[in-house]
Structure 1
Amino acid sequence: MAFKTGVAERDEWSYSPSVGVGPLRFGMTVDEVVEAAEMLGQTKVSECAPDHAIFSPTWKVEVHRRGVAPSLPAVTAYVSQVAGLFCIAVDAVHGPQVAYDGLPLVGRDLSELESDAIAYAEAMDVPFRYTPEGYEGPDDSGVVMRGQPVGQVLRSRPLFMVTRDGANTEWDSMPSEEYGVTETMPR
């Protein structure tokens, strides 16, 4: 099944907390991530700069959609030497659509997502949370909502995570490459 946006048709991937997203499973090796991601497109593997001494070497696997003009990766997977795959970042424009209990999380106008998250939380009598940057999302320790500028709108770019070696929370685990993503991704 595909999700339609104004730009292109997108795949729909499922999210299972602590398990993975779509064909990607937490704990996978770099080679396993590359093999699993082949269904979406071409991959590029690079080593991440060491950001904290407590973390083992980490690789970034960028997955670019087939048939799309040169663009930012649809999915970026981060793989630690010790923990394996620990973070899956989904691009707001080119990434697959991923929902949390029926609530679409990818490529949403952040103000609309906030309204929907509040309505969902009230209807289901469950909490939602804000990130330190003010982005809302499900109150699941495996989802960190990020903002990505797309034209004049800030769209949702979720990170699906488990903690990596030497970290206590997903915030501690977040790859340094994802910190400045909102400032470095003009569209």
Structure 2
Amino acid sequence: MTDGPYGQEDFPDGVKVFYDENRLACVAFDAIQGPQILLFGFDLSGRKSTEAQPLLFDFAEEHELSVLYTSDGSLALTEMEVLLRSQSVDGVQVSRPVIVKEEWLDSEYYRDRLPLEGEPFPRHPA
């Protein structure tokens, strides 16, 4: 676990787990090393971002789900608690799924700071 306002565990299979006040908050999957994450047969891991985003939009439209953009251009399906981030692999942007607790996806403050790798961010002002 890391110090700071959240805890983090890194697993050798490309999975990072994040805790907020000792409760599970977020699970991030490496685009290449992590397990394959499927959403109704749609492979969320390791796709070129230019391919993954249109497929996610089509899925959202078909299932009448809301899609949100984060400040870094990631896409979130808030009803499904899924955030699709990009990860650079050999100079190519590929998709990296992140499963996030609903309260964080509903909060622009937390949503724009996921996954929480690197320096801990300050707690959200009350």
Residues 1:78 and 2:18 are matched in the alignment? yes
TM-score by length of 2: 0.72
Query: Which residue number corresponds to residue 52 of structure 2?
Result: 113
Task: Point out where structure 1 has 5 or more consecutive residues left out of the alignment.
Answer: 1-45, 66-73, 180-187
In terms of Rg, which structure is larger? Answer: 1
TM-score by length of 1: 0.51
Which letter maps to 1:78?
Answer: F
Which letter maps to 1:172?
Answer: Y
CA distance in 2 between partners of 1:175 and 1:135 (Å): 11
Q: 2:79 is paired with a residue of what secondary structure? A: coil
Query: Which residue number corresponds to residue 177 of structure 1?
Result: 117
Q: Is the 8 A contact 2:66 2:79 kept in 1?
A: no
Once the 2 structures are TM-superposed, how far is the Cα of residue 159 of structure 1 from its aligned partner? 1.6
Once the 2 structures are TM-superposed, how far is the Cα of residue 176 of structure 1 from its aligned partner? 3.8
- Provide Cα deviations, 1:14-61, integer angstroms capped at 9, x if missing partner: xxxxxxxxxxxxxxxxxxxxxxxxxxxxxxxx313x2xxxx4xx3211
Assess, with a 3 A threshold, how the Cα gap between structure 1 residues 107 and 63 changes in structure 2: closer, same or farther: same
Q: Is the 8 A contact 1:89 1:160 kept in 2?
A: yes
Task: Point out where structure 2 has 5 or more consecutive residues left out of the alignment.
Answer: 120-126
Query: Which residue number corresponds to residue 140 of structure 1?
Result: 79
Residues 1:90 and 2:29 are matched in the alignment? yes
Q: 2:85 is paired with a residue of what secondary structure? A: strand
Residues 1:151 and 2:90 are matched in the alignment? yes
Aligned residues: 116
Assess, with a 3 A threshold, how the Cα gap between structure 1 residues 153 and 59 changes in structure 2: closer, same or farther: same
Q: How does 1:41-60 map to 2 (within 5 A)?
A: 46-48=1-3, 50=4, 55=5, 58-60=6-8
Assess, with a 3 A threshold, how the Cα gap between structure 1 residues 139 and 47 changes in structure 2: closer, same or farther: closer
Which letter maps to 2:36?
Answer: Q
CA RMSD of aligned residues (A): 2.9
